[in-house]
A and B are shown apart, each in its own frame.
Chain A
């Protein structure tokens, strides 16, 4: 009898999920599922009774009020962070229940229950900590980009080993000692959750958040096995299934496998410790005080001219930047160049600075986005296409003698290929060779401009001169307004328009303006659709929620497979803050991180208007050839501003 009742409650839940297959019925599906949970709740109350009614009722009320208040208060932009936070709350409940069940029974638990209990404990606790990290990342409380510790993989494997060991050990002990083991297990699980989530960032967040959805369900299921409650097991398993599907869909959409998301291959600096010492010493020697190099007034002017012309810039910081405390000025200069429409990146040599990742820390402190800090192997191929390299207090790490000359102390040392760029501006203290004593031929090259002196002052002067050269700036900005006119022309005559939103739209909070633009176009007789890539945004279906908030009919939100055949007949595709999901390199080039990833075929449209913040590649780091295609009309800058500009231009055209 109890079984039958249990199964009917599970059936109600399934009916709820069933209704999720259609958008129109999803709302009642949600209520049905809530009803199923209420039934289960009442059933448990009825069957088991409650000893401490007071405590239970107060806790219930407290949780419910807090939950409801928060649910009412959050804005749609905060949803990913909120969902992650709730996963964490579920994790806490799961490991607490498991802990109490495991410790309280005076009689020995069945082996099955004991195993499940330990699993519930472990998975619940790691879901909790990983969700808190994910939530903080999504809410921008901590940096979204991956944080990789020295020996991260090793730490993780040790941690897994430890969890396994203590977990098994706990079966063989009783009394007080086992409690210690359980607490150790919880602490290690919490640590594990932090370790594996902290190094997942950016575009991989949807995978993490889906994965945590699955683990939260799994924890609930194991919790149910300790207690021997079918309802708990069934509900938990359903959630685990849902989370698994979402994880799978997200991975497939990014052409990543789960293992690689959690154990990324890339090796960050701290691997070459011995080499480090000598080479850091090298770079520090570069800036040893020594006066008397010719005055750089002329050089400064030349440098400013070069900067104004350059479209792509790579900054190479070295320990000299740290000594001169110039990181803030460097970051300001970079920001200035970005607002001028230039593509700016930092090249980080593994041994630049005094400690592993030193440059990263300094630049992070100066507010530089981690995405702009590129490691040596990733950036070296880019130098030959780069207009300008700005060296700030680095010497041997950019010394081409290391590869051109045999038999020097630095021969064979990997360097940043700064000499391949069209121009090099060098803000070092002097022209002395570094620790190695090897002269740096880079300094004598014709296309190198030396700006000797204190890096902080030099960079500051560069920045000031850039600000002064207003006339030059007009030249730089003019093409931008031309672009806007071109975009308006393209839109004015367009019959079919497809809008492609990405995480950049969410960041710029531009969804309302995008939708306004769309309805304006519709009034002018165009057909407007939205193309939604499965992993656009930071969680599954993120764009759909944002656009729904801006009152877009869901019939106009098309999934990738549905919309892709339409691009060929599309007059204008508009990209708002999306990059990798429209990167044709995914299907045209082999061997990139995104090769094989399914994309939206925006490049097949007649014109593509791109309202992205900059031309930098997306999370994958793969340059987007779409930006350079003839079809592309680039409108760089804040997507909201670009959308507003388009709206007002279209309005002024009338019609």
Chain B
């Protein structure tokens, strides 16, 4: 029961803190934001790793490996693409006509 409460608490707290922080993100950055959180959602890779912390059957190995591959694809691809995107967002350069 205590365990349930802790987990629910962690979920709620993270959700609320995330909500407060992310509602401050300007719409300019919404695509990179989604791309980054998309990479973060591949945190299931932790779950996939934990699957391998005990003895596994063949079928579990296959499913686990598949989970690791897809999650790593998501996490690496997600962060890399976000980085590429953010590099495109240029800071103000000295131009003749600025307001």
Q: Are B89 and A37 in contact (CB under 8 A)?
A: no
Distance, CA A402 to CA B45, complexed state (A): 64
State whether A49 and B74 are in contact (beta carbons under 8 Å apart), knowing that A100-B63, A245-B19 are contacts in the complex.
no
Cβ proximity bits A606-637 to B, threshold 8 Å, 1 near / 0 not: 00000000000000000000000000000000
Task: Check: A378 CB closer than 8 A to any chain B CB.
Answer: no
Q: Are A86 and B87 in contact (CB under 8 A)?
A: no
The stretch from A67-75, A147-155, A312-320, A322-330 touching chain B is: A67-75
Q: Are A63 and B47 in contact (CB under 8 A)?
A: no
Distance, CA A18 to CA B36, complexed state (A): 13
Closest to A496 in B: B99
Contacts of A395 in B (CB 8 A): none
Q: Are A63 and B91 in contact (CB under 8 A)?
A: no
Closest to A28 in B: B86
Could you tell me which residues of chain A, from 32 to 64, have a CB within 8 Å of some CB in chain B?
33-34, 37, 40-41, 44-45, 48-52, 55-56, 58-60, 62-64
Task: Check: A161 CB closer than 8 A to any chain B CB.
Answer: no
Contacts of B26 in A (CB 8 A): 21, 23, 559
Q: Are A41 and B44 in contact (CB under 8 A)?
A: no
Contacts of B10 in A (CB 8 A): 230, 233-234, 237
Closest to B16 in A: A241
Cβ proximity bits B55-79 to A, threshold 8 Å, 1 near / 0 not: 1110011011111111111111111
Distance, CA A219 to CA B74, complexed state (A): 14
CB proximity of B15 to chain A, nearest CB, Å: 4
Q: Are B30 and A246 in contact (CB under 8 A)?
A: yes
State whether A63 and B50 are in contact (beta carbons under 8 Å apart), knowing that A96-B64, A245-B19 are contacts in the complex.
no
Cβ proximity bits A518-542 to B, threshold 8 Å, 1 near / 0 not: 0000110111100010100001111
Q: Give the residue of B19, B39, B64 whose beta carbon is less than 8 angstroms from that of A244.
A: B19
Task: Check: A66 CB closer than 8 A to any chain B CB.
Answer: yes
Task: Check: A243 CB closer than 8 A to any chain B CB.
Answer: yes
Contacts of B52 in A (CB 8 A): 50-52, 55-56
Distance, CA A425 to CA B63, complexed state (A): 62
Task: Check: A82 CB closer than 8 A to any chain B CB.
Answer: yes
Q: How many residues of B contact A (CB 8 A)?
A: 89
Residue with the greatest number of chain B CB neighbours at <10 A, chosen from A41, A68, A86, A93:
A93
Task: Check: A557 CB closer than 8 A to any chain B CB.
Answer: yes
State whether A52 and B31 are in contact (beta carbons under 8 Å apart), knowing that A20-B25, A213-B38 are contacts in the complex.
no
Q: Are B50 and A13 in contact (CB under 8 A)?
A: no
Closest to A536 in B: B27
Q: Are B91 and A24 in contact (CB under 8 A)?
A: yes
Contacts of B6 in A (CB 8 A): 230
Distance, CA A228 to CA B85, complexed state (A): 34
Cβ proximity bits A8-31 to B, threshold 8 Å, 1 near / 0 not: 001001101110110110110111
Closest to B96 in A: A522
CB proximity of B68 to chain A, nearest CB, Å: 4
CB proximity of B96 to chain A, nearest CB, Å: 7
Task: Check: A99 CB closer than 8 A to any chain B CB.
Answer: yes
Contacts of B92 in A (CB 8 A): 553-555
Closest to B87 in A: A27
Q: Are A539 and B7 in contact (CB under 8 A)?
A: no
Contacts of B48 in A (CB 8 A): 93, 96-97
CB proximity of B73 to chain A, nearest CB, Å: 4
Q: Are A21 and B40 in contact (CB under 8 A)?
A: no
Task: Check: A249 CB closer than 8 A to any chain B CB.
Answer: yes
Q: Are A64 and B64 in contact (CB under 8 A)?
A: no
State whether A18 and B39 are in contact (beta carbons under 8 Å apart), knowing that A89-B71, A93-B70 are contacts in the complex.
no
State whether A62 and B85 are in contact (beta carbons under 8 Å apart), knowing that A56-B49, A210-B34, A541-B32 are contacts in the complex.
no
Contacts of B86 in A (CB 8 A): 26-27, 30
Q: Give the residue of A20, A44, A96 whose beta carbon is less than 8 angstroms from that of B46.
A: A44
Task: Check: A474 CB closer than 8 A to any chain B CB.
Answer: no
Contacts of A549 in B (CB 8 A): 88
Residue with the greatest number of chain B CB neighbours at <10 A, chosen from A37, A97, A229:
A97
Q: Give the residue of A18, A76, A239, A532 whose beta carbon is less than 8 angstroms from that of B37.
A: A239
Task: Check: A277 CB closer than 8 A to any chain B CB.
Answer: no
Distance, CA A18 to CA B26, complexed state (A): 12
Q: Are B43 and A232 in contact (CB under 8 A)?
A: yes
State whether A17 and B77 are in contact (beta carbons under 8 Å apart), knowing that A90-B38, A540-B30, A540-B34 are contacts in the complex.
no
Q: Give the residue of A100, A224, A229 whose beta carbon is less than 8 angstroms from that of B64.
A: A100
Task: Check: A461 CB closer than 8 A to any chain B CB.
Answer: no
Q: Are A56 and B25 in contact (CB under 8 A)?
A: no
Closest to A104 in B: B60
Q: Are A64 and B76 in contact (CB under 8 A)?
A: yes
Cβ proximity bits B15-29 to A, threshold 8 Å, 1 near / 0 not: 111110111111111
Distance, CA A99 to CA B27, complexed state (A): 37
Contacts of B30 in A (CB 8 A): 246, 249, 534, 539-541, 544
Q: Give the residue of A60, A86, A220, A540 whose beta carbon is less than 8 angstroms from that of B77.
A: A86
State whether A554 and B90 are in contact (beta carbons under 8 Å apart), knowing that A233-B10, A541-B30 are contacts in the complex.
yes
Task: Check: A548 CB closer than 8 A to any chain B CB.
Answer: yes
Contacts of A229 in B (CB 8 A): 46-47, 50
Task: Check: A643 CB closer than 8 A to any chain B CB.
Answer: no
Q: Are B41 and A213 in contact (CB under 8 A)?
A: yes
Which 8 residue pairs are nearest across A and B when measured between Cβ atoms?
A: A63-B72, A541-B30, A67-B77, A540-B30, A241-B18, A67-B76, A71-B80, A48-B53
Given contacts A66-B69, A235-B43, A236-B43, 12 further A-B contacts (CB under 8 A): A27-B87, A31-B79, A40-B46, A50-B52, A90-B44, A93-B47, A96-B70, A97-B64, A223-B44, A229-B46, A233-B14, A553-B92
What are 24 A-B residue pairs whose CB atoms fall within 8 Å in the complex? A17-B18, A21-B21, A27-B83, A27-B87, A64-B76, A79-B31, A89-B70, A90-B71, A92-B70, A112-B3, A227-B47, A229-B46, A231-B46, A233-B11, A234-B10, A237-B11, A238-B14, A238-B17, A241-B18, A539-B34, A540-B27, A540-B31, A548-B90, A559-B27
